[in-house]
Structure formats: structure tokens, C-alpha cells
Amino acid sequence: MRIAQSNPGHSAPIKGSNVRWRVLSILIAISFFSYVYRYNLSTSGIAVRDELGLSDTELGLVLTVFAWGYMIFQFPGGLFGQLLGSRKAMTIMVTAWGVITLLTGLLPGQEAQSAALIIGELVVLRFLMGVFQAPLFPVLAANVADWFPVSRWALPNGLSSVGATLGAAATPAAVAWLVVEFGWRASFYLTALPTVVLAALWWWYARDKPSEHSSVHPDELALIMAGRVRQPEQPPLGQLLKQLLKNREVLLLAGSYFCMNWVWYIFFSWLMVYLVDVRGFDIINAGILAAAPWIAGSFGAGLGGETCDRLCKRLGPRWGCRVPAIAGLCISAVMLISGAYAPDPYLAVALLSACYACNQFTEGAYWQATTFVGGRYTAAASGVLNTGGNIAGVIATPMTAVLFQHFGWIVALSTGSLFALIGAGIWLLIRADNPMLAET
């Protein structure tokens, strides 16, 4: 089914069930813990570095390979979700996260193996974590497109980002406390446990389509399906891949998402180091303060999603997605450079938090626009989007280290402001109301 660009039942009340919101609540929980597994090594990195005898450069390499696995497998991950369905795909992914986290904690130290072997094993494990996290948001976006009414996808996608940013907010303080109290290995054992519950819960309750769920009331199903019209038959895989990889709107969205995620990866990879080494906080206080941008980002993501939905209803997809994206990116650029120059460390944290809130304000617009353009192929199109976004991680994580080592942190952070402004400019070219496959 292709998705039309209007929704006459947008505000209609629903009787009987709200299963889609329960499905989304599980996805939000999965998003929360996905960021725990992304961010736990960054948070415990100093302890891991010291026990396993890594240099800062080697630790940077280990942190970077996650982005490589995550980036390379975005598009294949989107196709994986497209072919397998969200129920099976998500169950496999979440289970794998727990296994990899557990194996990281069990990694033998220098008394049992060489430093080169330790680095190799960490590289493989973090790369695999990236691989199995890669399909998450493409699959999630496709699930949202199937389970929520037309043009009401930005808020659910934004709420999934709320879960992710709250996970990132909780991880520094929680993991830092676990590391101090029990050691970094125990922190990995304990954080691996929730995957068992999440995978089982998702498999039990989730379905690929609303029509397949026995608890969905006919009124809810009618609201979800309103405004959808039949789409052409799926082209052969090779033709579909060619259309995705050559589509103007998909490529522009991926390019702008690259710019937005440059800022994201500065926070993801280097925030704790910046707060400790530059702003002078100890690891416990840095862990607490590092939560502030992520908490602010959770508010920004939710507000941005609702704003995008409302603007799309009023202005249509093109400007309804453009306005929140451009505004969020431009303001985040100003806040980032202001935080870099702030003389007081607490003021710097406040400004950086505002920067990240504005950065996350744009999330719903990116995923909503990709859903409009991708239609029934949202998972695959979202894989292209997130590939562009995470090429930024492969480049920004090591590049930030090079820049702050040779030119200082102000220059390193200024690159984020520059890319945010470029990303805003690209949005002026994006037409979310131009679907990838024409109707018959």
C-alpha cells in the first residue's frame, strides 16, 4: 500500500483499542536500551582503557568501528527488515545486542592474551554491535508507517528518539556508578540482562501489520488505514535498489542527515571526554552532567515530532518537514559554538544541552519525510537515510580527535556548527511530497 499525503481522519476519536501506542511503547523501550549498548563503552572507556592497556588512539579506533558496522549495514539492514518483517527482525536484533554486551564483559585481559588480540576482539565485538543495531531505526520507521495514520508518523518517530536520548542520558551516570562500585565488566553483565525481557515481549505482542493483531479494534484499524491508496507492484530487487540509490529526495535527505549527525556524533563519542579533560569535572559529576544534553534532547525530539505532524497537516509535507528541520539545525549551530566559547563550565553544559535539544527537534522531520518519499519501501529508504547519517560517525569521531589535538576544542566543535548550517541549506531542496514510486 502506498501512503497518501492527506489524512481526513487525522483527529478522529478511536473506540475500542489503542494497540498501536502499546506497540510503540515497546519500541521506545527498545530504543532506550539500544543507546545503553551504544554508549556503555564510551562511558566506561577510561576504565576499559586502563585495565586492558589501550592507548587513547586505540580506544578511539574501538569506538569508531561501531560507526563503521552501523553505517555499512544501514541499507542492508533496511532490506533485512523489509524482507523479514519487523517482528522477526527486531527480535533477532535485540537478542544479539545482549549476547555481544555479555561477551564484551567476558573479554580476557592482558594476563591471558596479547594487546593486539585484545584490540582485535574489541574491534570485532563493537563492529558486530553496529551491524545488529543498524536495522533498528529503518525497521522502526517502517513499523510506524504501518501502524500509525497517514501524516502522523513524525511524533511516533520523535518519541522513539525520546527513548533513545533518555537511554543516552541514563547511561553515563548509571554505567559510571556501576563501574565505580562493581567494575566495568560487571556493568556489561548487568546491562545485558534487559535484552531477554525486551526480545520476549516484542515477539509476544508485536505484529508486522495492524490487521494481524487480534486486539486491534475495527475502529482503530479504520483510522490507521484511512487515506492509503494502492501502490504499484514491487519492482524486481535490482530495479528497486537502483531507484532507491538514485532517487533525488532520498539522497538529499541522506546528505542533510549526514550534516545533522555530525553534531550528534560529537556528543555521542566525545562529550564525557570533553567534560572531564576540558571542563574539569570528575568522572561521577561528568556522568551526571553528561545526562543533561540527552534529557534536553528527549524533550526536543518529542516536541519536534508533534510540531512536524501539525505543520504537515497545515502546510503539507514539503514545508511541514522543512520548517522544523531548518529551524532546529540553525539554532543548534548557534548553541554549539556558544557552548564552546562559554567561560563557565556549567553555562557550557546548559548551552550544549540547548544545542542537542534543537538537534533532536529535527528527528521527526527526517523520518516523516523519508516515509512520505519511500512509501511502502520506508524501511529500505530509511536505510539509505541512516547510511548517510552514520557516514558522519565514521568521519566525525576520529576527525574531532584530530582537530582538538592539533587546533583545540573550539575548532573541533565549530565543525559541528558548520555542518548543521549546511544541513539546513540542503532542506531547501528536499521535496517530501515527491514520492519515490508513482501511483498507477
Residue 396 sits in a domain whose CATH number is 1.20.1250.20
Residue 2 lies in a domain: no
Asked whether 328 and 361 are in contact (CB, 8 A), the reply is yes
Residue 197 lies in a domain: yes
- Kindly tell me if the per-residue pLDDT of 318 is higher than 60: yes
| H-helix or E-strand spanning residue 197 | helix 194-205
Residue 64 lies in a domain: yes
Asked whether 275 and 149 are in contact (CB, 8 A), the reply is no
Half-sphere exposure of 94 toward its Cβ, with a 13 Å CA cutoff? 28
How far apart (Å, rounded) are the C-alpha atoms in residues 427 and 435?
16
Q: What does the DSSP assignment read for 210-273? A: GGG-TT--HHHHHHHHTTEE--PPPPPHHHHHHHHHH-HHHHHHHHHHHHHHHHHHHHHHHHHH
Q: How many domains does the chain have?
A: 1
pLDDT digits (tens, 9 = 90+) for 201-233: 999 999 989 999 989 989 999 888 887 766 656
% of the chain beyond a pLDDT of 70: 92
**Distance, first Cα to last Cα, the chain:** 12
Residue 237 lies in a domain: no
- Which pLDDT does position 285 carry in this prediction? 84
* Cα four-point dihedral sign 333, 337, 340, 344: negative
Residue 12 lies in a domain: no
How far apart (Å, rounded) are the C-alpha atoms in residues 263 and 355?
9
How far apart (Å, rounded) are the C-alpha atoms in residues 336 and 433?
31
Q: Which residue has the higher pLDDT, 417 or 288?
A: 417
Residue 265, judged by CB atoms within 10 A of its CB (0-12, 13-18, 19+), counts as buried
Residue 53 lies in a domain: yes
pLDDT digits (tens, 9 = 90+) for 5-52: 444 444 444 455 789 999 999 999 999 999 899 888 888 877 888 788
Mean pLDDT for the chain? 86
Q: Going by C-beta distance under 8 Å and a sequence separation of 6 or more, which residues neighbour residue 324?
A: 304, 307, 308, 311, 361, 362, 364, 365
Q: Which residue has the higher pLDDT, 63 or 259?
A: 259
Q: The pTM is what?
A: 0.79
- Which pLDDT does position 7 carry in this prediction? 43
How much is the average pLDDT of 270-286? 84
Asked whether 268 and 42 are in contact (CB, 8 A), the reply is yes
- Which pLDDT does position 1 carry in this prediction? 39
Buried b (16+ CB within 10 A) or exposed e, 335-361: bbbbbbebeeeeebbbbbbbbbbbbbb
- Kindly tell me if the per-residue pLDDT of 401 is higher than 50: yes
How far apart (Å, rounded) are the C-alpha atoms in residues 282 and 434?
50
Q: Which phi-psi region, left, alpha or beta, contains residue 55 (left: φ > 0; alpha: ψ -120 to 50)?
A: beta
pLDDT digits (tens, 9 = 90+) for 89-110: 999 999 999 999 999 988 887 7
How far apart (Å, rounded) are the C-alpha atoms in residues 103 and 203?
24
- Note the Cα 199 to chain centre separation in Å: 19
Residue 358 lies in a domain: yes
**Band of residue 237 on the pLDDT scale cut at 50, 70, 90:** low
How far apart (Å, rounded) are the C-alpha atoms in residues 290 and 23?
30
Asked whether 154 and 312 are in contact (CB, 8 A), the reply is yes
Q: One-letter amino acid identity for 21?
A: W
Could you tell me the residue range of the domain that residue 415 belongs to? 19-205+247-427
Helical H runs in 274-377?
283-289, 291-315, 317-341, 345-361, 363-374
- Note the Cα 310 to chain centre separation in Å: 22
Residue 214 lies in a domain: no
